[in-house]
Amino acid sequence: IKCKAAVAWEAGKPLCLEEVEVAPPKAHEVRIKIVATAVCHTDAYTLSGADPEGCFPVILGHEGAGIVESIGEGVTKVKPGDTVIPLYIPQCGECKFCKNPKTNLCQKIRITQGKGLMPDGTSRFTCKGKQIYHFMGTSTFSEYTVVADISVAKIDAAAPLDKVCLLGCGISTGYGAAINTAKVEPGSTCAVFGLGGVGLAVIMGCKTAGASRIIGIDLNKDKYAKAKEFGATECISPQDFKKPIQEVLVEMTDGGVDYSFECIGNVGVMRSALEACHKGWGVSVIVGVAAAGQEISTRPFQLVTGRTWKGTAFGENVPKLVTDYMSKKIKIDEFVTHTLPFDKINEAFELMHTGK
C-alpha cells in the first residue's frame, strides 16, 4: 500500500510528510489503517536524538487507533475490519513476564522492537527506496502500519477513534499507575507531580480509587483548572514557596502523602515525590521517563523508614478502559485540547512543547 506518513529522517529536524510503501503483513503480523493518532513526549524525546535506542529514518507514533486492513498467516486474535489499538508493550501470554501476574512487561519481541524492526528483523516501510525503521512496535504516524499480532488490542467497534487513541499510552499509563501499581486506597492522600496528560490520568485513577485528597503540583498554573475538573482537590506551584516542595507537602498533610506520582521525567522531582511520602507506609511511583544516563538519588534513610519507590509503564487493560469510557466511567474527551489534520503534525509537537 502506498500512503502518507510523517517520516523523521534525522534527529532534531521536523517530521516530513512523505509517500511511503507499506508491505503486506507476514506471518503473525497485522496491517492497520490508522484513523487517529496522538503525540506524546516519548515521540519528541526520540526525535530530539537523546534516546539511545533511537534509529533514523523512522516513523514515530505510539498512541493510535484504527481498523485492521489485512492479516498475515496464523493470526487468530483479529480479522480485517476489526477496530484496534496498537500496543507498545505487547501481550504474548507465553513468556515468563506474561505468565507472572506481577507485571505487564512482555519481553517476547523486546529486542527487535528496540532496534526499530519487526520480529523477523526486517522493516515493512520503505520511502524513496530507503528502509524506514519502526518505532515502539507501533509507528502510528502513518496512514497504514504493520504490527506484530501480539501488539494489538481489539476494542469496541462503536468507540470514537479520535478519542480512544489516547489509551495507546498516556491515559492507560497514568490511570494504571494509580489503580494497579500504587493500588491507591479509599480515603488516602495523594500528590501528583506534573499535570500534563499522564498526570491528569493519575488524578482520575486516584479519584476512581476513592482518594479523599489529591494535590496537583505544577509550575504552570494554567493547568490547575483542568486538574480540578479531573478530581484534584487543590493545586500548588513549587515557585510559590521558599522551602523544598517535599517539605511543604509534609507540612500540609501532617507527615506526608500516602501516595505520590512523578509524571514529568525529572530525576530531581522524583526525589521530591519520594520524600513527600509519609514515613512508614508512603509509596511513590515513577511514571515519567527520564533522559538516558540520568540517575535517581535520595538518602537511604528515606527507604529504611518505610517508604517505597516503584515504577510503572502502560499499566492498564486497554479494551476494558474503552468499555469504561463508553459507559462513562472514565473521561477521555476532556484530555483532547486540539484536533489537527495529519499534515499539521509538526504544529502538534509545538503545542506539546509549549504546554498547550
Q: Can you tell me the distance from the alpha carbon of 227 to that of 236, in angstroms, rounded to the nearest whole number?
A: 11
Contact 163, 20 (CB under 8 A): no
pLDDT at position 137 = 98
pLDDT at position 107 = 97
Classify burial at 268, counting beta carbons within 10 Å of its beta carbon; exposed 0-12, middle 13-18, buried 19 or more: middle
Q: Can you tell me the distance from the alpha carbon of 59 to that of 135, in angstroms, rounded to the nearest whole number?
A: 6
pLDDT at position 292 = 87
Each residue of 172-228: pLDDT tens digit? 999 999 999 999 999 999 999 999 999 999 999 999 999 999 999 999 999 999 999
Of 69, 103, 108, 78, the residue nearest 92 (C-alpha): 108
CA trace torsion 57, 62, 66, 72 (10° rounding): 60
Contact 19, 127 (CB under 8 A): yes
| Assigned CATH for 2-169+316-354 | 3.90.180.10
Cis, bond preceding 57 (omega within 30 deg of 0): yes
Go through 68-97 and write b for each residue having 16 or more CB atoms within 10 A of its CB, e for each that does not: bbbbbeebebbeeebbbbbbbbbbbeebeb
Q: Which helix (H) or strand (E) holds 207?
A: helix 197-208
- Per-residue pLDDT of the chain in tens (356 residues, 90 and over written 9): 999 999 999 999 999 999 999 999 999 999 999 999 999 999 999 999 999 999 999 999 999 999 999 999 999 999 999 999 999 999 999 999 999 999 999 999 999 999 999 999 999 999 999 999 999 999 999 999 999 999 999 999 999 999 999 999 999 999 999 999 999 999 999 999 999 999 999 999 999 999 999 999 999 999 999 999 999 999 999 999 999 999 999 999 999 999 999 999 999 999 999 999 999 999 999 999 998 899 999 999 999 999 999 999 998 899 999 999 999 999 999 999 999 999 999 999 999 999 88
234: left (phi over 0), alpha (psi -120 to 50) or beta: beta
Each residue of 57-100: pLDDT tens digit? 999 999 999 999 999 999 999 999 999 999 999 999 999 999 99
pLDDT at position 291 = 87
pLDDT at position 316 = 86
Q: Where are the domains of the chain?
A: 2-169+316-354, 173-311
pLDDT at position 271 = 98
- CA–CA distances in Å: residue 85 to residues 2, 78, 189, 331: 21, 11, 33, 18
Q: Can you tell me the distance from the alpha carbon of 149 to that of 166, in angstroms, rounded to the nearest whole number?
A: 20
Side by side, which strands form the sheet with 125-127?
A: 58-59, 2-8, 16-22, 125-127, 130-132
Contact 217, 192 (CB under 8 A): yes
What pTM, to 2 d.p., does this model score? 0.95
Regarding the domain delimited by 173-311, which CATH topology (the fold level of the hierarchy) does it fall under?
Rossmann fold (3.40.50)
The number of CA neighbours under 13 Å toward the Cβ of 203 is 30
C-alpha cell at 163: 478519542
pLDDT at position 238 = 98
- Whose cell is 509517500? That residue is 19
pLDDT at position 21 = 98
